[in-house]
Amino acid sequence: MLLGTQKINSRNHLEIGGCDTADLAAQFGTPLYVMDEQSIRERCRTFKQAFDREYGCSNIAYASKAFIVTAMCALVDQEGLWLDVASAGELYTAKCAGFPMDRIVFHGNYKTADELEMAVELGVKYVVADSFMELELLSAIAEDAGKTQEIMLRCNPGVDPHTHRLIRTGQEDSKFGFNIKNGTAMKAVKQALDCRGIKLSGVHCHVGSQLFDLTPFTEAAPVMIEFIKQIKDETGAPIEVLDLGGGLGVRYLEEHNPPSIDEFAKTVSEAIITACAASDIEKPGLMLEPGRSIAGEAGTTLYTIGAPKEVNIPEEPGVKTYLPVDGGLSDNPRPALYDALYSAILANRAGDAPTKAYTVSGKHCETDMLIPNVLLPEAKTGDLLAVQTTGAYNHAMASNYNRFTRPAVVFVADGKADLVARRETLEDIVKCDVLPERFKGSQTKA
């Protein structure tokens, strides 16, 4: 499968954004995250246009947890989207990129006092409150600062999204949100309305991630709309914004067929509009927070292949061939975390027919299986492997496990490649280490 601007060029190489991947690997080294800028921009625009057409009065906030560097924040700003951040680090990155604070939504099930102070001081538009303690703390912080902080309440609509257990969030048993059905959310509304320094502007839910079935959204929408009506009836407070979070799935494998953004916008908008009519309320402003569906398919990771290793497995017929690559768990923990599956292309012989099954393994001291089974042309040491759909939750989740240096990230467009995150160096690896005086010198102590 070829995604976004990917194509096979006259050198039989995989090309992305008009850049030959073999040239990118030679210039920037591997592993390398390659982000297809046009694909990201098109998805930002499609989200905006689709929701404007189907719903009107909507704001799309890119969920930066999927992939964030300062250049991504700047791109999102250029496209006129909002930004969802979920930590001081993400907020700081947005600040460094000059992202307008009045288009930022600040999330997290446990925000520290320092994070709340930072959010208030910088003037983020909405803090999405997720506990009674946070309401108290935020109220005090905003009052001390002489400000009124707009908030949304993270609600739990009690909807099971039927996705991997680690990316399910909207079901009853969840650490996130105030439960609507058991009355906790209404208690939180009343507390928020009583708090000085806080203005309750919206309600929020996020049911889960990598969803192909839109039913969880159409189930959550009426629950949230009914809750907005209940708030109005019980307290008189108008809720201006409904934020339905992110969650739209993307294509990792050829056989994956996620709903299009247009389909998603139509289905979600209709569900909300229908629910508003049934509850006899005016439709609120709408916010969405797509992450994976903006960045996921735009990313490709390039690896250099090591020495293929054939292994005879007694219980299985034939031979298994391990294909080691120069990265793995530290640049992509998703296979280990979620049993996530990926597609791959032999980038330097991209048009050759696939003839052999490989198990792509990383080079970490774990099983570190990147792809359990992928068909490729016969691969040799030094070939280039392009693992697709690595734009979301890869660079963002990367670690220094085994003291690996995190790979560089390039944005490619119109035949040009721009470095947006440099590769870490060995010096970076030890830059936070502190060697106390008594450990200096190298005498062995008996």
Ligand X SMILES: Cc1ncc(COP(=O)(O)O)c(C=O)c1O
Under a CB-based contact definition with an 8 Å cutoff, are residues 170 and 157 in contact? yes
Distances (CA, A) of 362 to 56, 328, 365: 46, 4, 9
Interface pick for ligand X out of 20, 54, 84, 117 (rule CB under 6 A): 84
Residue 313 C-beta: closest distance to ligand X, Å: 36
Q: Which of 95, 85, 185, 199 is nearest to 142 (CA)?
A: 199
User: Among 37-45, 58-66, 130-138, 183-191, which window interacts with ligand X (CB under 6 A)?
Assistant: 58-66
Among positions 64, 191, 269, 293, the unique one binding ligand X when judged by CB under 6 A: 293
Alpha helices for 68-131 (secondary structure H): 70-78, 88-96, 113-122
Closer by beta carbon to ligand X, 291 or else 324: 291
Q: Does 108 bind ligand X (CB under 6 A)?
A: no
| Position among 22, 66, 268, 384 found at the interface with ligand X (CB under 6 A) | 66
Dump strand ranges (E) for 92-169. Answer: 104-106, 126-129, 149-156
Distance (Å, rounded) from C-alpha 225 to C-alpha 231? 10
Q: Which of 31, 177, 216, 247 binds ligand X (CB under 6 A)?
A: 247
Which residue stretch of 52-60, 115-123, 242-250, 303-311 sits at the interface with ligand X (rule: CB under 6 A)? 242-250
Cβ burial, residue 277 (10 Å; 0-12/13-18/19+) = exposed
Contact predicate 169/130, CB 8 Å: no
Q: Nearer Cβ to ligand X, position 216 or 362?
A: 216
Q: Closest residue (Cβ) to ligand X?
A: 246
What residues form DSSP beta bridges with 203? 153, 242
Minimum distance of ligand X from residue 247's CB (angstroms) = 5
Question: Would you call 365 a catalytic residue per the annotation?
Answer: yes
Part of the chain binding ligand X (CB under 6 A), chosen from 75-83, 188-196, 245-253, 277-285? 245-253
How far, CA to CA in Å, does 262 sit from each of 44, 53, 217, 248, 372?
Answer: 12, 9, 14, 11, 33
> Measured between alpha carbons, how far is 444 from 29 in angstroms, rounded to an integer?
39
Q: Which of residues 358-417 bind ligand X (CB under 6 A)?
A: 392
DSSP-derived pairing of the beta strands 299-304 and 384-388:
antiparallel
* Of 67 and 303, CB closest to ligand X: 67
Least distance (Å) from ligand X to the CB of residue 392? 6
Interface with ligand X by CB under 6 A: which range of 119-127, 219-227, 239-247, 304-312?
239-247
Please give the Cα distance from 308 to 323 (Å, whole number): 5
Q: Would you give the binding string for ligand X spanning residues 170-209, x where CB under 6 A is met? A: ------------------------------------x--x
Residue numbers annotated as active site: 365
Binding residues for ligand X, per CB under 6 A? 63, 65-66, 84, 107, 206, 209, 245-248, 289-293, 392
